[in-house]
Structure 1
Amino acid sequence: MCEVVKGKSLKQLQGSVVQAAIFEAIKQGNVEFGYEMFKANPVLVSLTGENGKTMLQFAIECRQEKVYFFFYRLTRIAPDLLVTIDQFSNTLLHAAASLSPIAQLNHIQGAALQMQRELQWFKEIENIVPPKILEVVNVTDGMTARDLFTKNHKELAKEGERSMKETATSCTVAGALIITIMFTAAFTVPGGNNGNTGLPFFLDKKLFKVFIVSDALSLFSSTTSVMTFLGVLTSRYAEADFLESLPKKMIIGLFTLFFSIATMMIAFVSTLFIMLGENSWIVIPIILLASAPIVSFAWMQFPLLVEIFISTYGAGIFAKKGKPLVFSDFI
Structure 2
Amino acid sequence: MKRVISEPSQVIFIAAEVGNFEVLAELVRSYPDLAWEVDAENRSIIHIAVLHRHAAIFNLINEIRTIRNFVVTYEDDDQNNLLHCAAKLAPPSQLNLVSGAAFQMMHELRWYEEVKKYMPPCFVEKRNSNGKTPRELFTEEHTELLTKAESWMKSMAKSCMIVSTLIATEVFTAAFSIPHGDDDKNCNPIRNAIIFIIFAISDATALVSSSISILIFLSMLVIARYAEDDFFKSLRLKLIYGLVTLFISIISMMVAFSSAFFITYSNSIKWVPIFVSVLALAPITLFTFLLFPLWSDVVYSAYFCRSIFRPSKHVLYYVDG
In the superposition, the TM-score normalised over structure 2's length comes to 0.90
Contact preservation (8 Å) 1:31, 1:70: no
Q: Does 1:135 align with 2:125?
A: yes
CA shift, 1:136, in A, is 1.4
Give matches, 1:299-310, under 5 Å.
299-310=289-300
Q: Which runs of 5+ in 1 are unaligned?
A: 193-199
Give matches, 1:105-254, under 5 Å.
105-139=95-129, 141-191=130-180, 201-203=188-190, 205=192, 206-234=194-222, 235-254=224-243
What one-letter code is carried by the residue in structure 2 that aligns with 1:73?
E
State the distance in 1 between where 2:244 and 2:33 align: 53
Contact preservation (8 Å) 2:36, 2:67: no
Give matches, 1:48-59, under 5 Å.
48-59=38-49
Describe the superposition over 1:26-45 as per-residue Cα deviations: whole angstroms up to 9, x where unpaired: 11212232233234443322
Pick closer, same or farther for the CA change 1:322–1:76 going to 2, 3 Å.
Answer: farther
State the distance in 1 between where 2:124 and 2:320 align: 31
CA shift, 1:77, in A, is 4.8
In the superposition, the TM-score normalised over structure 1's length comes to 0.87
State the distance in 1 between where 2:315 and 2:98 align: 29
Contact preservation (8 Å) 1:137, 1:143: yes
Q: Does 1:66 align with 2:66?
A: no
Q: Does 1:285 align with 2:275?
A: yes
State the distance in 1 between where 2:280 and 2:71 align: 60
Percent of aligned positions that are identical? 38
State the distance in 1 between where 2:68 and 2:139 align: 30
What one-letter code is carried by the residue in structure 2 that aligns with 1:208?
F
CA shift, 1:21, in A, is 2.1
Q: Does 1:319 align with 2:307?
A: no
Contact preservation (8 Å) 1:97, 1:152: yes
State the distance in 2 between where 1:324 and 1:28 align: 19
State the distance in 2 between where 1:52 and 1:329 align: 23
Contact preservation (8 Å) 1:73, 1:322: no
CA shift, 1:302, in A, is 4.1
Pick closer, same or farther for the CA change 1:113–1:107 going to 2, 3 Å.
Answer: same
State the distance in 1 between where 2:206 and 2:232 align: 30
CA shift, 1:329, in A, is 6.2
State the distance in 2 between where 1:4 and 1:51 align: 20
State the distance in 1 between where 2:188 and 2:39 align: 82
CA shift, 1:112, in A, is 0.9
Pick closer, same or farther for the CA change 1:30–1:209 going to 2, 3 Å.
Answer: same
Alignment match of 1:89 (pick from 79, 94, 115): 79
State the match for 2:90 in structure 1: 100
What one-letter code is carried by the residue in structure 1 that aligns with 2:135?
R
State the match for 2:265 in structure 1: 276
CA shift, 1:300, in A, is 1.6
State the distance in 1 between where 2:26 and 2:299 align: 37
State the match for 2:254 in structure 1: 265
SS in 1 for 2:132: coil
What one-letter code is carried by the residue in structure 2 that aligns with 1:173?
I
State the distance in 2 between where 1:183 and 1:202 align: 18
Contact preservation (8 Å) 1:25, 1:34: yes
State the distance in 1 between where 2:147 and 2:250 align: 31
Describe the superposition over 1:100-123 as per-residue Cα deviations: whole angstroms up to 9, x where unpaired: 111111111211111111111100
Pick closer, same or farther for the CA change 1:292–1:211 going to 2, 3 Å.
Answer: same
State the match for 1:196 in structure 2: none
Contact preservation (8 Å) 2:61, 2:68: no
Name whichever of 298-307 and 99-108 sits farther off.
298-307
Pick closer, same or farther for the CA change 1:218–1:44 going to 2, 3 Å.
Answer: same
